[in-house]
Amino acid sequence: MATIEEALEIERLERDIFRGATSKTQLPRTFGGQVAGQALVAAVRTVEPQFQVHSLHGYFLRPGNPAERTVYLVERIRDGRSFCTRRVTGVQDGAAIFTMSASFHVGDEGPEHQDRMPEIQSPEDLPDASQSLSPERLWLMREWEHWDIRMVPADSVTQRAGVVSPQQVWFRYRHPLPDDPVVHVCTLAYMSDMTLLGSSKVTHPDIATQDASLDHAMWFLRPFRADDWLLYDQSSPSAGFGRALTGGKIFNRHGDMVASVVQEGLIRTRQ
């Protein structure tokens, strides 16, 4: 399947109009992480290099056709001395399939703190998805063969009081990436949609549902590399009325919290 460079490829049609590439996929609709990642690449190309993205907020409005290219329209909402804001709309066949706001910051000095990374098995102690005979894992491997994704077994996931649906995943891009921080940020935006909604199914493994991402918010907190191991510490604090709220904290191997994600998804019971 597609490399991250292929999945995030876009071309500039006009000053603030871009068109994303299609990529080979097993999915019946465009992968949400690809749409979000391409939209972020488009936004990044309209700001000066000293501004780094620190947050994005997106809504998946319609299912995208993976065989069709998506056009991204960028609006320059604000250009300030410390912050820039962009709004991006992804369009197919004249209809919006995705909309996103992204904020960029030059970086300032201030106090620091973060939550502690949970104590968990190292990724080397977990099986590579490519070595698993599980149909679900083999499907995952085929779709994202360029990613090393290692699910922490349910009986080894960190248990915390009051957290009803936890899930933990180690992941990294298998191939070396350029040093450009923008590449790693856009790669992480792509990946962040991969397994998060699955945390809502941890306590309901036998219920068949129709699943889809509805919205996606992400904060980039510290520098990181997407081609080195990252821990995605996920949970679903609430589910009801056919929707589930999910969230995840992303840590590097040294325990630095590098990103935070919140997503609501459709988990409608299949009739």
| Residue positions annotated with a catalytic role | 193, 213, 263
Using CA atoms, how far residue 262 sits from 60, 64, 146, 244, in Å, is: 14, 21, 25, 11
Give the integer Cα–Cα distance in Å for 271 and 269.
Answer: 6
Q: Packing angle between helix 32-44 and helix 181-191, nearest 10 degrees?
A: 150
Strand ranges across the sheet with 95-105: 10-14, 17-20, 71-79, 83-92, 95-105, 52-60, 209-220, 257-269, 243-252, 230-240, 166-173, 147-151
- CA–CA distance, 139 with 112 (Å, rounded to integer): 41
- Residue 126, phi then psi, degrees to nearest 5: -110, 150
